[in-house]
Chain A
């Protein structure tokens, strides 16, 4: 979506869980400009835990961590397995391909909390996230 200085992206999911995982996979695709089927390499897994006062902050905190792993450890996330999920807690297995610095094509500095709201309309969950680039 248009944003004068940075970028805003609208993510979707059939369920709230899908909104979380679709957003994280999309982030990897944007940063590395690659589809998962185009990547070959050793598959790896990390386990992450999050807690927050509400679902919106939980969502942004999850994306912040995914972005950090994208930028610093060059993890391309392609699959997730949610172990525990509530409005205040997320426990998740994250599967990734380890890439390298040269594979990054789009720098995203940060996930912002700017005007963040998770919406449900006609059974579809969505959120507009603004990234600092």
Chain B
């Protein structure tokens, strides 16, 4: 099969490759069902994966998950790992919403307990959680010292303030904290934007959702997490808000200005990067880590606000609700990880932009309870369809630096969505499927409707076929608060 001047070769079921050509230092490898190929080719995101393949120090492949779609610079759904000694780090390979991510929580409730109360639950979410453009002041405005503690401690800061339980740390990627965080590398502008946004959803595709488990794929793994059919679950999707956007913007600006001094050229300024070992590379990584920690604190507070709201709406005790975090994953991040490349262990800077870590069993980075079974992986769909809880695999460790997809992936621009649909059409369709949605902006609901996304079931099928993650349960939404 041909893509522009490049050849696409089938490697195995759901695995495809574009061999090296021109400036590419490594091949592109992407994961998709055959039926997904026409859309992926039409979207042109593969050209962005080809561009990434030309960056110095890249190892094995420039990879793309089945939710790949056209972004800016790096494709969304992309994974690229660079040698920490000879390779680069790129703010565009992480994205503006640093550590945007998602968490999955279980409760003791079942569908029968809440089926007549969904509207009240969504109203309660709206009252407790600021959402939409520029949302702010979910909790008391931070002072500069408190904000530094958020940057350094991440999730732990939120727990110390009474948001959640200490056991949540084990159920959060990297225990909710990147140790490399250094507030000295964060600008005053970023600091000022972060003071009043902890505990806010933001806009766009961010959400707080209540749903139920509607399919169990692996009973043994479901038992490990005490999950069963019809059980009520809650998911949170948000990131580092204006604080993270500003850090990305600050460092991208600095790196664009340094481009002419680099010993290599790049095909798009948005791929601006710098050697990982340079002072600028190190400064960005330390600032990015602050934003990662901010995002974990944000999701921890959001989850806690959601739990309190549920208890209030349903008038039930903490123990009766039994709210418990299963896992929190980030999907816009760069991390230093050890992986085997051609049989040798290497220290790599793994960029996951719209991709989720999917570590298999026996990884020392995981909490003890997950070392035996692997790391939970959360794949949210759109607000009208399904989401999945999966588990990481050893195959992913070997093939993709322990990575898999992060969601459904867009197929339609927001502009096209507004051309085709209106607010009432989308709201009524969701209602007829038994889904209550509240969106701070009417436009958001149209821009985020199901038809603008790939079929998440196909995306998950592709990563499962390729062995990058294994399905545990599927959920369906009942009530959604959108940003």
Which residues of A line the B interface, CB within 8 A? 1-7, 52-53, 57, 61, 64, 68, 71-72, 101, 104-107, 109-116, 130, 132-133
In this assembly, does B270 line the interface, its C-beta being within 8 Å of a C-beta of chain A? Answer: yes
In addition to A6-B72, A68-B246, A107-B202, 5 A-B residue pairs with Cβ atoms within 8 Å of each other are A7-B413, A101-B134, A112-B270, A114-B269, A132-B72
For the complex, give the distance between the alpha carbons of A112 and B202 in Å.
Answer: 20
Partner of A5, one of B69, B252, B257, B441: B69
24 A-B contact pairs sorted by A residue (CB < 8 Å): A2-B416, A4-B43, A5-B69, A7-B413, A7-B415, A53-B260, A68-B189, A68-B246, A101-B134, A104-B134, A105-B133, A107-B133, A107-B134, A109-B242, A110-B96, A112-B270, A113-B252, A113-B270, A114-B73, A115-B72, A115-B268, A115-B270, A130-B270, A132-B72
Q: Mark B385-429, 1 if CB is under 8 A from A, else 0.
A: 000000000000000000000000011111110000000000000
A104 touches B257 (CB 8 A): no
Q: Which residue of B lies closest to A106 (CB)?
A: B133
Chain A residues within 8 Å of B72, by CB: 5-6, 112, 114-115, 130, 132
For the complex, give the distance between the alpha carbons of A122 and B64 in Å.
Answer: 40
Cβ < 8 Å to A, chain B residues 39-54: 43, 45
B257 touches A57 (CB 8 A): yes
A64 touches B189 (CB 8 A): no
In this assembly, does B27 line the interface, its C-beta being within 8 Å of a C-beta of chain A? Answer: no
A112 touches B73 (CB 8 A): yes
Chain B residues within 8 Å of A110, by CB: 96, 245, 248-249
Chain A residues within 8 Å of B414, by CB: 7, 133
Q: A53-B260, A68-B189 are in contact. Are A114 and B270 (CB under 8 A)?
A: yes
In this assembly, does B71 line the interface, its C-beta being within 8 Å of a C-beta of chain A? Answer: yes
For the complex, give the distance between the alpha carbons of A72 and B241 in Å.
Answer: 12
Chain A residues within 8 Å of B246, by CB: 68
A113 touches B256 (CB 8 A): yes
Report the minimum CB–CB distance from B459 to chain A (whole Å).
Answer: 15
Report the minimum CB–CB distance from A6 to chain B (whole Å).
Answer: 7
Cβ < 8 Å to A, chain B residues 51-82: 69-73, 76
A105 touches B410 (CB 8 A): no
Q: Mark B169-202, 1 if CB is under 8 A from A, else 0.
A: 0000000000000000000010011000000001
B257 touches A4 (CB 8 A): no
Report the minimum CB–CB distance from B20 to chain A (whole Å).
Answer: 23
| Complex A-B, nearest 7 residue pairs according to Cβ-Cβ distance, in ascending order | A114-B72, A113-B269, A114-B270, A107-B133, A2-B413, A4-B70, A107-B203
Q: A5-B76, A104-B134, A107-B133 are in contact. Are A72 and B245 (CB under 8 A)?
A: no
A64 touches B43 (CB 8 A): no
Cβ < 8 Å to A, chain B residues 208-265: 242, 245-246, 248-249, 252-253, 256-257, 260
Chain A residues within 8 Å of B83, by CB: none
For the complex, give the distance between the alpha carbons of A102 and B92 in Å.
Answer: 30
For the complex, give the distance between the alpha carbons of A70 and B416 in Å.
Answer: 26
For the complex, give the distance between the alpha carbons of A5 and B453 in Å.
Answer: 10
Chain A residues within 8 Å of B411, by CB: 4
B269 touches A109 (CB 8 A): no
For the complex, give the distance between the alpha carbons of A63 and B249 in Å.
Answer: 12
Report the minimum CB–CB distance from B184 to chain A (whole Å).
Answer: 21
Chain B residues within 8 Å of A132, by CB: 72, 95-97, 245
In this assembly, does B136 line the interface, its C-beta being within 8 Å of a C-beta of chain A? Answer: yes
B204 touches A107 (CB 8 A): yes
Report the minimum CB–CB distance from B191 to chain A (whole Å).
Answer: 11
For the complex, give the distance between the alpha carbons of A2 and B189 in Å.
Answer: 31
Chain B residues within 8 Å of A61, by CB: 253
Report the minimum CB–CB distance from A99 to chain B (whole Å).
Answer: 11
Report the minimum CB–CB distance from A109 to chain B (whole Å).
Answer: 5
In this assembly, does B272 line the interface, its C-beta being within 8 Å of a C-beta of chain A? Answer: yes
Chain B residues within 8 Å of A104, by CB: 133-134
For the complex, give the distance between the alpha carbons of A101 and B100 in Å.
Answer: 23
Chain B residues within 8 Å of A7, by CB: 413-415
For the complex, give the distance between the alpha carbons of A72 and B197 in Å.
Answer: 12
Q: Which residue of B lies closest to A117 (CB)?
A: B269
For the complex, give the distance between the alpha carbons of A16 and B281 in Å.
Answer: 34
For the complex, give the distance between the alpha carbons of A64 and B96 in Å.
Answer: 13
Report the minimum CB–CB distance from B178 to chain A (whole Å).
Answer: 21
Chain A residues within 8 Å of B203, by CB: 107
